[in-house]
Amino acid sequence: MPRPRLSARPAPFLSSEMLRELSEAARAAGTGQVLDELWTARRFLDGTPAAVAVLDPELRYLYLNDTLAELNGLSVGEHLGRPMPEVIPGSGPSAEVAHEVIRTGRAQTVVFDGRTPVDPVDVPRWWLGAFHRLEGEDGEILGVAAVIMEVTEAIQQRESMRRAQERLELLEETAARVGGTLDAAEACRALTDLLVPRFADYAAVDVLDPEGTPRAPATPVPVRLRRMAVAAAPGIPAPLTPLTRDGEVIFHQASSSMARVLTEHRPVVLNRPDDDTMRLLAPNRQRLERYRAMNLHSVAYLPLMASGEPVGAVIVGRRADSPEFTREDVELLDQLTARAATGIAHALRYTHEHETTLEMQRAFLATPHTPGPGVEIASRYLPAGRGAEVGGDWFDAVALPSGRTLLVVGDVMGHGVRAAAAMSEYRSLLRALALQGLPPDRLLTEADRTSHALDLDRVATCVLALLDPAAEYAVLATAGHVPPLLVRPDSAPELADLPVGPPLGTGSAGYRSRHVPLPPGTLLLAYTDGLVERRGEDIDTGLSALTGMPITSGHALPDVLNTVLDRLAPANSEDDVTVLAARTC
């Protein structure tokens, strides 16, 4: 197929006034229909709100309406006969489309961005352009016609909706990542990992700390905060990565940005501050050199607010070629930290309670346990895995008159500080009753009656084993607890067959004891249900696994505990595990 030939350089279109005059003359002569149609078409092109242009094959303007002239900020006359790229610098993309349409003959509709000669450099604009080739009667290429509508507002609205959707997804991601753990350090690390390198080159989370500054001051004063997490983007010099360590206590001077954030409860932004300002607002004056060595030029401090009170603050920094913080940056970061603050505050409360409970429990369990003669004991306590609350497990060994020993292993229902406090009450109560010489069934009855009368808000299960090595027997009783394991010399492990009474604190009574033979060298293993109970699994499965342990009565007690715990205790248990091993000799 022969290629259409280009026309010789055409002249610009006739002006509207000339067309009107020709139309009127032709109408007077009775031959005006064609010119009337041309005049009508011209009035349409001249009056349409769309920008219209006709260009020759070299993209010189042959025609444009006033709409396009106003859009370009130039008169119609300043366009005619001149190439589009010369008239409108930066029109390269649309010029390329026009050349392609002239070459192929295929019409194109495209969206392109750019600016007009009167636009500020930093103001983006978008247009929708429809281009089609113009051909003469004999197929020669006359040029290209373009109809252009500005779509800047629609593009900006779409971009605004896209950014709003991204912001919503980011806030949801923040809530999920930061609020998905009860470990305060993990929650803070999740936030710094989210911020770096997406929004900053450096980020740290400092929180109020019982060992430093426990609550936010009302006026700016020096504060000591716990640095829970810190993250740095690649490129920061190795000696400065990270600038501080997780868990470090950071001192912030009274004039620092951190002190201001904690008292004013609003962000503080420092874009390219001078050294004097940095010395005043940095955590301390010595840290300025570290910031400068990092080439850190802009820093923002944002409060972590929960229930109207600050629990700490986030520090984000940008360095080297990263841009300064804009108002939009700070607004988004403020929203992110506000969403993260709830999760971090919850994790801090939980972590504090978890550590307090654990310390209470360890203090109680660390009390010296001295069995009577002829009995050796060993014990192990494993707190619940990370993310689970500490329970109310306990054990005890009480030396009694006549060479007997009372062993106790118990478990208070529930978790947390209240469970640990109730555990200490039950432990003290049972120890006091044991020293009165009561047999196990009577001891449980009195303990149940007393705890019920005292209105303890937690019930507890426990197992008692009164060992009499000289008489070679033991008296066992249980209050809703799992049965102990007995391993006699030259015998396989077996669970003690005991009548089960109700948990302590119910006021139900009804406890019975059982005497069992206890030849020298017998091993007794008492434990809490965390050892054998699993979610979604019958407890009998765990008890059966316990009786199948490869242990004998002659094994060293620490080895017995290691074997049992290694095979049965999960690495991240949902409940505490307490095991007490005793052997008569």
The DSSP string of 133-172 is EEE-TTS-EEEEEEEEEE-HHHHHHHHHHHHHHHHHHHHH
The DSSP bridge partners found for residue 22 are none
Same domain, 381 and 472: yes
Same domain, 443 and 302: no
What value does the mean pLDDT take over residues 212-224?
Answer: 86
- Is pLDDT of 187 > 60? yes
What value does the mean pLDDT take over residues 166-173?
Answer: 86
Residue 542 within any structural domain of the chain: yes
- Is pLDDT of 3 > 70? no
Count each helix (H run) and each strand (E run) in the chain, helices first: 15, 22
The confidence score (pLDDT) of residue 385 equals 61
Same domain, 351 and 372: no
Same domain, 469 and 506: yes
Top-ranked range on mean pLDDT: pick from 120-124, 392-396, 468-472: 468-472
Residue 186 within any structural domain of the chain: yes
- Is pLDDT of 252 > 60? yes
470 within 8 A of 403, measured Cβ to Cβ: yes
Same domain, 444 and 296: no
Note the pLDDT tens digit of each residue in 390-445.
Answer: 568 889 999 998 899 999 999 998 777 777 778 888 988 999 999 898 999 999 99
- Separation CA 63–CA 48 (nearest Å): 14
The confidence score (pLDDT) of residue 417 equals 72
State which of 326, 356, 386 marks the end of a domain. Answer: 356
Same domain, 389 and 311: no
How many separate domains does the chain show?
Answer: 3
- Separation CA 501–CA 508 (nearest Å): 9
Same domain, 388 and 465: yes
Residue 74 within any structural domain of the chain: yes
Note the pLDDT tens digit of each residue in 310-334.
Answer: 999 999 999 988 999 999 999 999 9
Same domain, 414 and 544: yes
- Is pLDDT of 7 > 60? no
In the predicted model, what is the mean pLDDT of the chain? 85
Residue 325 within any structural domain of the chain: yes
Q: Which domain holds residue 461?
A: 367-584
pLDDT band at residue 117 using 50, 70 and 90 as cut-offs: low
Other C-beta atoms lying within 10 Å of the C-beta of residue 46: 15
Q: In this predicted structure, which of 114-118, 158-162, 302-306 has the lowest mean pLDDT?
A: 114-118
The DSSP bridge partners found for residue 524 are 486, 582
Same domain, 94 and 195: no
Instruction: Indicate yes or no: pTM above 0.85.
Output: no
Residues 6+ apart with CB under 8 A from 445: 509, 511
Amino acid at 120: P
Note the pLDDT tens digit of each residue in 501-551.
Answer: 999 998 888 899 999 999 999 999 999 999 998 888 889 999 999 999 999
Inter-residue long-range contacts of 561-565, CB under 8 Å, 24+ positions, other chains counted: 561/378, 561/379, 561/380, 564/525, 564/527, 564/531, 565/380, 565/382, 565/531
Q: In this predicted structure, which of 253-257, 291-295, 317-321, 523-527 has the lowest mean pLDDT?
A: 291-295
Q: In this predicted structure, which of 50-64, 183-197, 230-244, 526-540 has the lowest mean pLDDT?
A: 230-244
The confidence score (pLDDT) of residue 283 equals 65
pLDDT band at residue 387 using 50, 70 and 90 as cut-offs: very low
Same domain, 310 and 400: no
The candidate with the shortest Cα–Cα distance to 198, out of 237, 166, 229, is 166
148-166 in b/e burial notation, b at 16+ Cβ within 10 A?
bebbeeebeeeeeeeeeee
The confidence score (pLDDT) of residue 121 equals 64
State which of 333, 356, 379 marks the end of a domain. Answer: 356
Task: Check which CATH number belongs to the domain holding 212 and give it.
Answer: 3.30.450.40
Residue 492 within any structural domain of the chain: yes
| pLDDT more than 90, % of the chain | 49
Same domain, 339 and 210: yes
458 within 8 A of 412, measured Cβ to Cβ: yes
70 within 8 A of 80, measured Cβ to Cβ: no
Note the pLDDT tens digit of each residue in 10-26.
Answer: 556 666 676 566 666 66
Task: Check which CATH number belongs to the domain holding 92 and give it.
Answer: 3.30.450.20
Task: Check which CATH number belongs to the domain holding 504 and give it.
Answer: 3.60.40.10
Residue 33 within any structural domain of the chain: no
State which of 331, 356, 381 marks the end of a domain. Answer: 356
Q: In this predicted structure, which of 212-226, 283-297, 442-456 has the lowest mean pLDDT?
A: 283-297
Of the two residues 119 and 184, the one the predictor is more confident about is 184
The confidence score (pLDDT) of residue 293 equals 73
For residue 288 the two structure tokens come to 């300025």
Residue 37 within any structural domain of the chain: no
pLDDT band at residue 572 using 50, 70 and 90 as cut-offs: low
The confidence score (pLDDT) of residue 584 equals 94
| pLDDT more than 70, % of the chain | 86
For residue 487 the two structure tokens come to 């391993």
Residue 209 within any structural domain of the chain: yes
Same domain, 323 and 391: no
